[in-house]
Amino acid sequence: MAQQAITFHSQHPTFRMRDSGLTKKWLTECAAEHSAKIQGVHYLFCSDEHMLKANRQFLDHDYYTDILTFPGHSSNGISGDILISIDRVRDNARTQKQSPQHELARVMAHGILHLIGYRDDTDEHREEMRQAENRWIRRRFSP
């Protein structure tokens, strides 16, 4: 059986991915517009505590975050693991006065954009990333 290019896994007790087919199509289009093919991208939706452990273990950071992106190695396209804290997504949605679906789309696009090569380590890079995220959010929710 062929490996799926994009997979979704949830260890969060109250989260289930909806519209997975449409979301995979949208993420694939995002990559393709940047001349990238998705070889194998695996999303894990988790809790704040799981994310904090991963942040400490892999990055030596002792704080909550909404997303961690770990690039993989593939000669045939982009690959990697993307961890998303559903707790942070929900909290950020309330803070930003956005729907949880909108905020989830933002961080999902953010992960793909990182794998494509976008960075967010300077103000200029963060602005470029935010513009790209906003463009993809509009495309995700436009009729």
Question: Domain residues of the chain, as ranges?
Answer: 6-141
pLDDT in tens, 82-107: 999 999 999 999 999 999 999 999 99
Q: What is the CATH T-level fold of the domain 6-141, as seen in this structure?
A: Collagenase (Catalytic Domain) (3.40.390)
Greatest alpha-carbon pair distance for the chain in Å reads 44
Residue 91: exposed, middle, or buried by beta-carbon count in 10 A (0-12, 13-18, 19+)?
middle
The confidence band for 143, taking pLDDT boundaries of 50, 70 and 90, is low
The confidence band for 3, taking pLDDT boundaries of 50, 70 and 90, is low
Q: For residue 41, which of 86, 9, 87 has the smallest C-alpha distance?
A: 9
Residue 1 in this model has a pLDDT that exceeds 60: no
Transcribe 32-62 into DSSP letters. HHTT--EEEEEEEEE-HHHHHHHHHHHH---
Question: Mean pLDDT over residues 44-58, rounded?
Answer: 96
